[in-house]
Chain A
C-alpha cells in the first residue's frame, strides 16, 4: 500500500517534468504532434523561426572573445557573430536574434527541449554528444585544444610537474573528461565548479594550482585578468595541448533542413574569405566575371546567348543569403580577427584555424 503510493508519487513527479519539457518543445512546432514535418523535432524549425521573427541562439556569456556580455549589456564575441550571421541569412537582419545564456550543464537540455533553435556556445563535437544527446554537430567554427593555465610564479613548466596539485575545471564539459585522462597516474584533486566566476575566485585565492580549459578560453580569461592581481603577466598558459576540441554549432536531431541552413551559413563565411569577399567590398562584385562568386552571392548569371538565371542551392534560404551574411558580420577572417585575433586582448594566431590554402583546416565545400 505504502509502496504503491510511493511508486505513484515518483511516476507523477517524473511525468510532470516530462510534461514541462514538452510544453517548451511545442513552442517550435508549427503543426503539432504528428504533423508532416521531419521526424524527431516535431515540426520545421525554419517555419517556427520565420513565424517568430527571430532565432533563439543558445550562447555563453562569460568567455571573453567567444561569448561575453559587455559593459553595455550587449552580447559580443566569435560565437555571437555566427548567431548574427544566421539571422542575416534567414531574415536579412543580423539583429533578429534572441540570445539565451546557458551554462555548460544546461546547454543540451535547452537544445533538446526546443528552448533554443541552435547552440553556438564553444561546444565540442564528440561521439557521445552526437549519439546520446539528440544533437547534430555542424561545420566546426573553431579548432581548439585543451591547455593548462598556472600562476607565473608557481614554477610549473609542464603538466607532468603537477603531481598532487589541485586543478580547477568547469563541470559538465569535455574538459574535465580530458583532464581525468591526462592526469591518469599523476595524483591530483579536481575542483569542479559550474561557473567560470567561481573558478576565478578559487584560483585568485590560491585554492587551486592549475586552471584547465580550452586554450582559447584560457586566453580569454588571461586577457581579462584583473590588474590588481598582476594582470595577464601573472598567468602562464603551458605549451602542451592535450585534447582536440572542434567547436561548432549544434542543432536538434531530426530537422535536416535547419541543420543544412546552419551548416551553409558557417561555410559561407569561410568561402567568403577564400574568395576574398569582405564586409567592405561585398557590394562591389556586381560586375564580376567570376561565375563561382556570382553563384555564391546570388547574382544573375548570363550565358553566351544572353539568358540570365540565378543560382539557388535549395537550402530554404534566399539566393543571396551569403551576401547578407558577409555584409552583416564579414568573412571568417574578419570575424576571427575582430574577436580573438592577434590584435585583440586574446591575441590568438590563426594556426590550424587558417584556410586550407594557408595550411589550416578550414576547407569549405563548393557552393554549386
Chain B
C-alpha cells in the first residue's frame, strides 16, 4: 500500500506514516475495548456459575407472589407482567409530571426576570430553595409532613363533593365509559387530526396571502361541534364519575395513591426549579439588540415576548431541558423511599423475593434506557422543527 519508493521518494516509511499510525491506533483501541469486555463477561458468567446462580431469564414467567397496590397484579401474575405494571406506574409519573414541570418552570423562569420586584424575588426564592435541596429530602418531607398529615380515611375531605382526599389516596372526579365509548373516542381522535390539519392549513394560507387566519375559530369550532354532536348522537358515551367513599371502599373517580402524589409534587417542584434557571438563562442569552429592535417596531411587551424573545430563547433552552426531563424520569426511582410501586420498587421487591439480581437489574437498566431514549427522540423531533431555517 505504501510501496513505490521509485517515483515518490518523499513518502515516509511505514512506522512513520501518519495514516498507518492512525489505523494502528484504532485497531489497538478496539482490541483494548474487546479485551476489557471479554474479561468482564468472563468474570460475570464465571462468578455467577461458581456462586450457583442462574444466568437466564426463565424466571420472568414465575409467579410474582405479591399484590401491587392500585393494580390488578396479584400473587399469580407472572413476574414480567408485574414489571410492566412498574413501567406503567413510572410512566404515570412522567406523563403527568413533565408537562407540569415545564409549565411551572417557564412561569417561574419568566417571573424571575419580571420588573415587578415582589414577583422576581419570590421566583428567585423558589428557585434557590428547591434547586439546593436533594430531591430525596423533598420527597420524604412531602410524604411525611404533608401526605401522611392529610385527614384519616374516616374523616376524608370531600371538597364540593367532587373529590375525596385522605392520607391514603386522593380521588378526583373523572369520566366513566358508557356504551358507544370506543366509537366516540375514534371520532374525537379523527376530528383532532382534522383540526390540526385545519390549523396548519389556515396558518400557511395566512403566511402566504396575509388574509386573516382565524385558525382558533376554525379548529376549535370543528372540534367543539363534533364533540357535542357525537355526544348527543351516541346518547352519552361518557358520564361524569364522582368519587364516593362507602365505608372504606371508594366508588368512581380517578384514584391516585398518596405516595404517587408525594413523588409527583416533590419532583415537579424540584425539577421545575432547574427548568426555571434554564428558561431565565435562555432569555438572557437572546441578544439585547433583539429587544431593542422589537421596541423600535413598537411591539407591546407581550408581543415582544411572544414573537421575538421566546421563539429564540426556546431554541437555546430545549437541549438542556431534555436533560431535565431525563433527570425527572430517573429521579422517579426515588419513589422507592415512600413505597410507590414504580419500576425500581418492583425490581427490588422481586429481587428481595428470591429472584436473580443481575438479570433484574439488567431489565431495570433497559427500562430506563427506553424511557430516556424515547423522551430524547420526541423532544429532538420538536427541536428539529424549531431550528433556524437558513435559506
Contacts and interface: CB of A to CB of B under 8 A. Distances in A.
Interface of A: 6, 8-19, 21-22, 25, 33, 39-42, 104-105, 108-109, 112, 126, 128-129, 131-134, 163-166, 171-174, 176-177, 179-181, 183-184, 187-194, 198, 201-202, 205-208, 252-254
B43 A171 contact: no
B21 interface: no
**A15, A21, A109 pick with most chain B CB within 10 angstroms:** A15
Interface in B152-175: 152-153, 167-168
A196 B168 CA distance: 18
Given A129-B354, A189-B70, A198-B338, A164 B51 contact: no
Contacts of A17: 358, 361
Interface stretch (B103-111, B190-198, B292-300, B362-370): B362-370
Given A108-B354, A190-B66, 10 more contacts: A12-B37, A14-B44, A14-B362, A128-B353, A164-B247, A172-B351, A173-B352, A173-B353, A205-B148, A207-B148
Interface stretch (B216-224, B232-240, B341-349): B341-349
B244 interface: no
Interface residues of B, number: 57
B70 A132 contact: no
A332 B149 CA distance: 44
A205 B52 contact: no
A184 B75 contact: yes
B352 A104 contact: yes
Given A205-B149, A207-B167, A207-B258, A14 B348 contact: no
B336 interface: yes
Given A126-B354, A202-B148, A22 B43 contact: yes
Contacts of A184: 74-75
A132 B40 contact: no
A164 B67 contact: no
A120 B257 CA distance: 35
B351 A11 contact: no
B32 interface: no
A163 B247 CA distance: 11
Contacts, number: 170
Contacts of A206: 152-153, 167
B311 to A, nearest CB: 31
Contacts of A177: 65-66, 75, 353
B47 interface: yes
B225 interface: no
B69 A105 contact: no
Contact of B357 (A16, A109, A190, A252): A109
Contact of A253 (B44, B47, B51): B51
A192 B349 contact: yes
B248 A165 contact: yes
15 contacts: A15-B43, A18-B358, A41-B50, A41-B51, A108-B351, A131-B354, A133-B53, A163-B248, A164-B249, A171-B352, A180-B66, A192-B69, A201-B148, A252-B51, A254-B51
Most buried by A among B47, B48, B148: B47
Given A183-B67, A205-B149, A105 B75 contact: no
Nearest to B355: A132
Contacts of A105: 348-349, 351-352
B178 interface: no
Interface in B74-103: 74-75
B75 to A, nearest CB: 4
Closest 6 CB pairs of A and B: A172-B352, A18-B44, A15-B40, A128-B354, A205-B148, A105-B352
